[in-house]
Structure 1
Amino acid sequence: MPDYLQFSAEDFAQDDFFIRWVLLPDAETEAFWQNWITTFAFRRDEVEAARQLVLALHQLPQVRMAAGEKMALKQRIFNEIAAQEPASPEPVVRAMPRVTWQWVAAAVVLLGLLVGGRYGWQARQTVPAVAYLELVKAQAQAADSLREVTNTTNDTHLVALPDGSSVLLRPHSQLAFPARFTGPSRTVYLDGAAFFEVAKNPSRPFFVNTAHLVTKVLGTSFEVQAWSGAARVMVTVKTGRVSVYPQNSAEAIAQRGTPKLEGFVLVPNQQATYQLADQKLLRTLLPQPALQAEQVAFEYTETPLAKVFAQLEQAYGVHIVYDEAVLGNCPLTASFTDEPLFEKLGLICKAVQANYEVLDAQIVVTGPGCR
């Protein structure tokens, strides 16, 4: 594995493992890069610049470019990114009678740079910043006032919402919401990433609108990652239940009129990924599912596997599929402490000569059974 601490933004943008995370993310790359960014938070700026460069270069038409032309294009992109960095070290909070944001200007400048000359931007998707801007414009016209919080720092910023909900707004992210929630629902608008802890109110659902995906909850905690220009939108559930659906879809229209959570529903330790290229919505388990119960003793002495799996399901909020007639009575003697779920499963399966895989957010265990 390369020493990423020594990488510049341009080095990241040319690394195959980094490019795979940006364009075709999977459990391995997502776990690695999220952990790396958390550990080395002071490198966030370089990672974000590299991510934007990868996205920009991979949306260009497939034409042959000389090495000098590629270097010149990369340098111009970095210069434009650097020129648009805000000087203020504090999060910016303001009311919004009109919507005029510096980040929109930066996106337009970068877009203009890439469409200039013979290298035109490939128009497969609407520019996310513009889509987000239109969402907020429509809300601003309907509401008496609208607040916008822009986190221009490298630290997470706590935002208190008028209904008692709280938001941890991630670095370089934006959140827009009414000064007070009126009507049958509570709606906010996000560009970037944020962790939400929503005050429970079953009669008034809470909606997080991004350029491409809507997240609907009644009262729970979850993370949304919806960066402008990214190839995907991700929603991760910590507690409670969450439903997600594409923006402007038939389901989106239907969900606005009911307080119920229906359709594509996520539960704790599950993650939804919406790929913009093929507009597919996928459900997966987190790379490291967290315990949902406290003070669980994973001590087993000749314990039937059916009871072991039942305890793991309850402790982690997951669903384990297996043939109970074949595996359910296999005895297990083991003692676990703070091992991650998948490490526990690996050891259990090794003990009973079985295998497991994760399919559609379910854990499927297969094996010959016990003699």
Structure 2
Amino acid sequence: MKEIDDNLLTEFLEGKLDEPANREIENWYDTSEENRRRLEALYFVLFAGDRLRAAASVNTDQSFRSLQRRIELRRTKTRPQWRQIAARYAAILVAGVIVAGMYLYQNRPDDRICTVSAERSDCSVTLPDGSVIRLTRSSQLNYPASFDDGNRTVHLTGEAFFEVSKRNGAPFTVTTVHDAEVVVRGTKFNLKAYDDSSDVETVLVEGAVDFRAADHVVALHPGQKVSYNPTDNDLTLQTVNVEAELAARLRTFRHVDLAQIAGVIEDFYGIGVAFRSEALKNIQFTGTLDFNMPIDHILEVLTLSTNTRFNRNGEKITIHK
């Protein structure tokens, strides 16, 4: 019989031997308790070491699935008694790999960015720190998959209501278009920050926030609303009826082309807007539109303010003089 050393045992465990050699190893395994312990220990050390080294450089889920396939394949190639031993050590091995994989996974930096979009209806999302954000339709939120490094910064395009969980020494920051941002420390507030030329607005319900834009820094108190126009770099602060502000879907525009507002209407109501002439697209509108109202009301306000008219044919709107 060929001398059985660790190299031969390793080839057996890796399934590289032919059937006669496999039977010799199995017979050798049955002859003594010392032989059984030797093969079992090599099995654990060989494959546990292999999996732990791989876990640091590959996807841990994929590694675990690969390990399971290898164990199952090895079971089918050996006789019943060996399958029982392999199963016992496989359980130890799998537990070790899972613990090590979780440690490596949880302690590596996670720089993934998650995106939630509310395209046709409102939706809610709970962030890793427990903060809850309710997105208004046609809005989008980007946030890191993990806040473990203390970085609680998210980016909003559109409108959302924030209920921010408190964390000592870890402020929560919402960045927006036009370089406007809101810094909070555990509070409830509503923020509008669309990527068109409408005003960026924040209404504070409770707690405290700092609103920052360009050279402006304003500390808000509950019941206050700040409006910032990026085109004019103009900022206003006022006391408002919070319930009324949250119930309405008001959008304030200042000197915005009709073509751009038409795009907002199309996105929100899902209805096409066309112009009889190119010149009409450049007419500017200044005013506030309530997107809780029917589209005909929006168009009435828009056309009366710009001395234009509109025709509606089903799902198609045409603006003309």
TM bucket (normalised to shorter chain) is 0.3 to 0.5
Larger radius of gyration: 2
Q: With structure 1 as the length reference, what TM-score do the two structures score?
A: 0.35
Q: With structure 2 as the length reference, what TM-score do the two structures score?
A: 0.40
Structure in which a larger fraction of residues adopt strand: 2
